[in-house]
Amino acid sequence: MEIMSFNILLAVLIIAPVVFGVVAYLSPDKLRSMSIILCSVIVAAAGIMITIKPNNQFELPGSEMIATILEVAIVGIILYIAVTIRNWLILLMSLAQLGMIIAEIILAQTGHAVTHSYDFATDPLTKILILITSIVGPIIAVYAIGYMKSHQEHAPPTAASLGQFFFFFIAFLGFMNGLVMANNLKWFSFFWEATTLCSYMLIGQDGGESKKNAERALLINTFGGLAMVAGALWLAVENKTESFEGLLAAKAVIPMVLLCVAAFTKSALLPFQSWLLGAMIAPTPVSALLHSATMVKAGSYLVLRVTPGFHDSPKVMMVITIIGALTFAGAALLAVTQSNAKRVLAYSTISNLGLVVACAGIGTPLAYAAALAIICFHAISKGLLFLCVGRIEQKIGSRDIEDMGGILYRMPVTTSVALIGMMSMLLPPFGMLLSKWMAIEATIRSPLILVFIILGSALTVFFWSKWIGRIQTSSYHPKFNKESIDPAMGFSLITLALGVLLTGLGSMWIFNKFFAPITKQVFAGRTDISDVLWNVFNAAGDFAAVTLFVAVGIAFIAYWLLVWRRFKETDVRLPFLCGENAESTVYTTSAFHNSEGIRSYAFRSMGDKIENSWSSTTYLKNFICEKKATIWLNIIAWVIIIILLGEAHLL
């Protein structure tokens, strides 16, 4: 009975979203919304249920044939797209993938024995990703109901239908669940390419320029798919296995490195970050679900899945760590230069995924636990922030941070929720700060990596602090506006905000009850790990996050009673601007503002002329050129990847 219920939950998590995606594609608007909500509830319930059950395994009858057919089919679809858009590089890489799949089939037919294991399984690592996909994903899907109604009203004529959008959006949840539970590399490769296909279709939703960005995403992720299939073929030929435990048992370094390169493309690490930045042109729910909370996590998940078994290859692991650390610091540096809110979020995502890979490469329990924590806490906070930016953009018609001054008055609910999300990225006792603290502790004996981690952390504080300050800038208003929010969007914003607060409140409890035991299980057989590393957990376990939350709550209440409630409009004085203050309806523009400009302070200068002034935050554009910095970072990253492949070949 236990095995049967596991099999049912497995089928629900993978198949139900695809079925509901078809329903959403064929249904009218009202029925589509109902089917999305129903699918969200079912997937969330199944995800929670399968994670509280004991670890289990499942082998599908005829699995080898089914997986091969699906793998060929998905590559065939990408081939068709490559021909349609006339991208011959994608075509060549897809043909190479198809050739390697056929080669593996021929080997199997000629008596080349390959050890087959179970096809799907759950363990603590997969359960973490299932929870993220099955809880955060449905919340974003519900948000998309309200968002896409408004988006479609202003979408260009080239935009695809809402039915097509929601088919790929909902089906993606099933593909992602299948990916993290797949143990057989054939199944894993199929789901890997399926998420790539969903990403391509959703990025190109609006047509026009978005199609070019979607094509770039398909190109880079097809390269990753090629590395994936090459690693699987090498493993099958040299080690006669196609499973993850077979890979770890054989300690096959070259297949592991090829899988890591595939992971770098999916997680948009340097030098593959351009596809994720281009993907920000997609509707905000796509950015939140695929390109922040879930799909890009597939790459870091793969690295965490394969690296623990290769601690006896220190040079390879060090190179993987350097790639992650360079991405963490480099992307944080580029985020400092951005005023486009979605690009800031994109660079921040790339940066944090780099930190996950760096921690995986370090190969100690403390670093591994930090990586697990970053994956979880980042998914909730960044998903929330993308939804807030999407809401703000629809309201003010801009995603430029410099145009967000005063939104605390205009959009108090959304702005307050956004502030919660931003503060969770850099303040205690939220999990992101604690995760980075553990990452720094884990790199204390590696000076080079430590410098990258400290630099990236400092830059992270800088760009988040700038944004937090900007959206709080507002003239005095006795009362805030009453913000009207679509119910579906409001539900998602509040739910994720509560998730951020609750995980912050219980951050150390989560570390000690979940991440520490999982890490101990992963490193159970290691004799080269000192128990002293666990002292960090023991010391941190004495910290009660609730104390800090209560203190902050008391401070807010005291501020409202003693300052805000007693403040009067007559206490407000306009700033002195080298002349008498003047009433003005003149709007100004600058390099940071959209074509409509923003309201500025006005004052009288010589000749009674009315001048306008404005303020903006600094983006260090005179010191850091995004284009040049990107070129140099990419060159360095390519050199490191070549070194990684060389080290793997020498072993």
pLDDT of 337 strictly over 80: yes
pLDDT band at 584 (very low <50, low <70, confident <90, very high): low
Per the structure block, which two tokens stand in for 291?
């390109």
What are 497-507's pLDDT values in tens digits?
999 999 988 88
pLDDT of 586 strictly over 50: no
What are 397-442's pLDDT values in tens digits?
889 898 887 788 888 899 999 999 999 998 888 889 888 988 998 8
Structure-derived torsion over alpha carbons of residues 367, 371, 377, 380, reported in degrees to the nearest 10: 170
Under a CB-based contact definition with an 8 Å cutoff, are residues 46 and 196 in contact? no
As a whole number, mean pLDDT of residues 85-106 equals 92
As a whole number, mean pLDDT of residues 224-242 equals 91
pLDDT band at 182 (very low <50, low <70, confident <90, very high): very high
Per the structure block, which two tokens stand in for 427?
């303040």
Q: What is the rounded CA–CA span in Å between residue 511 and residue 639?
A: 36
pLDDT of 614 strictly over 60: yes
What are 438-458's pLDDT values in tens digits?
899 888 888 889 999 999 999
Task: With H, G, I as helix, E, B as strand and everything else as coil, classify residue 184.
Answer: strand
The contacts found for 595-600 with CB under 8 angstroms, 24 or more apart, are 596/397, 598/402, 598/403, 598/405
The predicted pLDDT at position 581 comes to 65
Considering only residues 560 and 240, tell me which one the structure prediction assigns the higher pLDDT: 240
Element at 627 (helix H, strand E):
helix 626-650
The predicted pLDDT at position 592 comes to 37
Terminal-to-terminal C-alpha distance of the chain: 46
Considering only residues 552 and 514, tell me which one the structure prediction assigns the higher pLDDT: 514
pLDDT band at 355 (very low <50, low <70, confident <90, very high): very high
**Residue given tokens 């024995």 in the structure block:** 113
As a whole number, mean pLDDT of residues 74-80 equals 95
The predicted pLDDT at position 457 comes to 94
pLDDT band at 113 (very low <50, low <70, confident <90, very high): low
Q: How many CA atoms lie within 13 A of 526 on its CB side?
A: 17
Prior bond of 429 cis (ω within 30°) = yes
**Residue given tokens 């590393």 in the structure block:** 533
pLDDT band at 532 (very low <50, low <70, confident <90, very high): very low
* Range 557-575 burial, b when 16+ CB lie within 10 A, else e: eeeeeeeeeeeeeeeeeee
As a whole number, mean pLDDT of residues 14-34 equals 91
- Highest-pLDDT range among 365-369, 378-382, 441-445, 589-593: 378-382
Prior bond of 271 cis (ω within 30°) = yes
pTM recorded for the entire structure: 0.91
* Range 196-226 burial, b when 16+ CB lie within 10 A, else e: bbbbbbbbbbbeeebbebbbbbbbbbbbbbb
Under a CB-based contact definition with an 8 Å cutoff, are residues 180 and 129 in contact? yes
The predicted pLDDT at position 195 comes to 95
Per the structure block, which two tokens stand in for 78?
């990408």
The predicted pLDDT at position 111 comes to 62
pLDDT of 396 strictly over 60: yes
User: Which residues lie below 8 Å from residue 631, measured CB to CB, with a gap of 6+?
Assistant: none
- Highest-pLDDT range among 104-118, 294-308, 508-522: 294-308
268: left (phi over 0), alpha (psi -120 to 50) or beta: left
pLDDT band at 460 (very low <50, low <70, confident <90, very high): very high
Considering only residues 509 and 422, tell me which one the structure prediction assigns the higher pLDDT: 422
Strands (E), 116-240: 120-121
The predicted pLDDT at position 474 comes to 67
The predicted pLDDT at position 587 comes to 44
The predicted pLDDT at position 534 comes to 52
The predicted pLDDT at position 590 comes to 39
pLDDT band at 363 (very low <50, low <70, confident <90, very high): confident
pLDDT of 566 strictly over 60: yes
